[in-house]
Amino acid sequence: MADLKAPEKKFRPELEGVRAVAALLVAIYHIWIGSVSGGVDVFFIVSGYLITTSLVARMERDGRIDFTENLLGLAKRLFPLAFTVLLTTAILSIFLLPQAAWKQTIAEYFASIFYFQNWQLANSAVDYLAQNNTASPLQHFWALSIQGQFYITWPLIITAVYFLAKRLFKTPVRKTLLAGLLVIFAGSLSYSIHMTSVNQPWAYFDTFARAWEFSLGGIIALLIPYLRFPKIVSWLIGWVGLAVICLTGLLLPVSTVFPGYAALLPTTGVILIILAAENSGNFSVQQLLSTKLLQYLGSISYGFYLWHWPLLTFYFAYFQTETVSLLSGLGIMSLAFLLSAISIKVIEAPVRNLNVRQSKGRITKVLAALMVPALVAGFSWNAFVQAGANEVYAVADYPGAGAVKGTIIPAEDVEPLPSPLTAEVDLPVFYGDKECSSYGKSSEVKSCSYGVTENPSAVIALVGGSHSGHWFPALEAIAEELQLQIDVYIKDACRFTTDDLGGALTPACMEWNEKVEEQLLEDPPDLLFTTANVQEEGFVPAGYIKRWENFDGVTEIFAVRDNPKMPKDIPLCIEKTPGECSAPRDDMLSSEVPWENTEVLPGNVSFADLSDYFCDAEVCHAIVGNVLVYRDRHHLTTLYSETLGPVLKPYLEEALGK
């Protein structure tokens, strides 16, 4: 059986031009439009085309792919610039980023070093506790991580196909590979369409939802000898392809609908340009993309992509703005070009020009010399943050809620705690055990017991979402004194209700609710602790009441009024503009007490309104009694919650009949 024809070996200058256009689009959309352009998808299909062409030719020539040489060859092209940018970004982050952003940036720093940044961001995108994360100066490494994973797996796939074709199936190699790539394309695109429809934030960073783009590039690489059109057709589809690439970001909301079938738009644009170049003529798009300027810009597009995003995020941080003027944006792009040109000439080129077969040892040493400083910087930075997490303080200086009624006078001239550096990680202890709370799409009921677990005088079930969960430290603070066992039933981004609150709660949350109720009815606690309303709302939701009614005559319900949701991320605000973090009470809380504004309530419910410990008559505060109230916009810090324990105590005693 005859195999597919091998394509003519030639340099494809139009692809360098395409890379230049894609890099410019990415920067323009990031800087001025505040969205994404689809340019990354262009990089993916170009990589799939070029790497497939190279690896298949090498396999046919040598009968194998030397994986060591292949990895070293990739590393010497990718690592020098990547680690230079990473190390520079880490150093500048310490000086330019607020400490509240350090933990997130460090996590993304290591994820970028080891090429799993896309999975780091995918988890953050669906992790309720990470919803307040801002864009870090390393977020753009997600695309490089996916490409790195592609570079590692593609030689394995081609080697496996070669083995199957030669040894098992006795079929032509290129045709067998084409069949394999078609399977990958169909499977990945189907998965991508499905995942984009059910969980688009995850799909955006999911390698498997992007694999079809690389495989599509490979398919075109195998079929290119058969795809030649008349000059007039080539001229037309070439310009259409460039227009499609440039307009994708304007035609589609890329950041919310990609990858899925929508990503077929920019990838089709690249394919049209590749096909047009097979028979280009005068005034063709290939002539434009092959100009010296675009060729040069394409040759430094990797460095430009690496540098532009940190420069942009540092601009936002330094000038405390969310927009970029035309002049400033041009300055950012110019500096990114300059740094790219310099770093490529000084750092990348000397390494890239080393011969892999002749200089394996030297290349390894050079790469280690680049990687070790980046790792040392990351570990040192992380150690500093971890040391800050163990903050030591005099309790009398930080009364928190104890200072509200004037019973304790807080010390003056002390820095509030937790510090912005550690506020984000100031979580209730049960979050440290993944077996104690439910996450994401899981409806599994997980529970752990805390406090006095042997012969308690009362068992309290803490039930609901994170706004129930952040009361745990308050309960734990008085558990010993009241001899309480605290059973935690928490699912983040969920509420204890029969109603999905207008679609705000997921099907997994509602299923979890049913399971929790069933479990608690089988073994009722002495008291069920939950929230009474949703943030500023001045009524008790009907779904809450229906859920509580199912426990009437079984156990008592204790419902605490929800805390305000502040307009700003408090730890970030305290660092940037500490005098501007409070908010008017009238904007944050309803003047109506929720249960006093609700007509029919079950007889087994006790309520507590602790709003005065968040707001005075006029203002809701970010700091109370030298303690930071919030770890983000609306979740309490563990330290402030602990200081609410004595405040909560008499309410619980009354509810428990003590």
**In sequence order, which residues have a C-beta less than 8 Å from that of residue 334 and are 6 or more positions away?**
none
Q: Spell out the domain ranges in the chain.
A: 13-381, 413-656
**In sequence order, which residues have a C-beta less than 8 Å from that of residue 208 and are 6 or more positions away?**
188, 191, 192
Over range 283-301, report the average pLDDT: 95
What is the pLDDT at residue 303?
97
Q: What percent of the chain has pLDDT over 90?
A: 78
For tokens 């290129």, the residue is 174
Angle between helices 141-163 and 67-96 (to 10 degrees): 170
For tokens 């156990």, the residue is 555
Helix (H) or strand (E) holding 29: none
Q: What percent of the chain has pLDDT over 70?
A: 98
Residue 131 reports pLDDT greater than 70: no
CB-side exposure of 23: number of CA atoms within 13 Å?
A: 26
Render pLDDT for 462-497 as a digit per residue (tens, 0 to 9): 999 999 999 999 999 999 999 999 999 999 989 999
How many Å separate Cα 75 from the centre of its chain?
26
What is the pLDDT at residue 26?
96
Over range 325-347, report the average pLDDT: 97
CATH 3.30.70 correct for 413-656: no
Of the candidates 70, 64, 115, 51, the one whose C-alpha atom is nearest the C-alpha of residue 360 is 70
Q: How far is CA 169 from CA 166, 172, 173, 180, in A?
A: 7, 9, 10, 13
Residue 128 reports pLDDT greater than 70: no
Over range 160-179, report the average pLDDT: 93
Over range 128-156, report the average pLDDT: 85
Three-class secondary structure of residue 63 per DSSP? coil
Handedness of CA 265, 270, 273, 274 (dihedral sign): negative
CB 83 within 8 A of CB 363: no
Residue 300 reports pLDDT greater than 80: yes
Over range 504-529, report the average pLDDT: 95
C-alpha triplet 344, 350, 353: angle, nearest 5°: 105
Distance CA 286, CA 234 (A): 10
Q: Which two tokens stand for residue 168?
A: 């098992």
Render pLDDT for 201-260 as a digit per residue (tens, 0 to 9): 899 999 999 999 999 999 999 999 999 999 999 999 999 999 999 999 988 888 889 999
Over range 507-518, report the average pLDDT: 96
Render pLDDT for 82-123 as a digit per residue (tens, 0 to 9): 999 999 999 999 999 998 889 889 999 999 999 999 999 998
Which of 17-21, 132-136, 473-477 has the least mean pLDDT?
Answer: 132-136
**Most confidently predicted of 127-131, 341-345, 491-495:** 341-345
What is the pLDDT at residue 367?
92
Render pLDDT for 522-558 as a digit per residue (tens, 0 to 9): 999 999 999 999 988 889 999 999 999 999 999 999 9
Distance CA 520, CA 557 (A): 12
Query: For 490, phi and psi rounded to 5 degrees?
Result: -120, 135
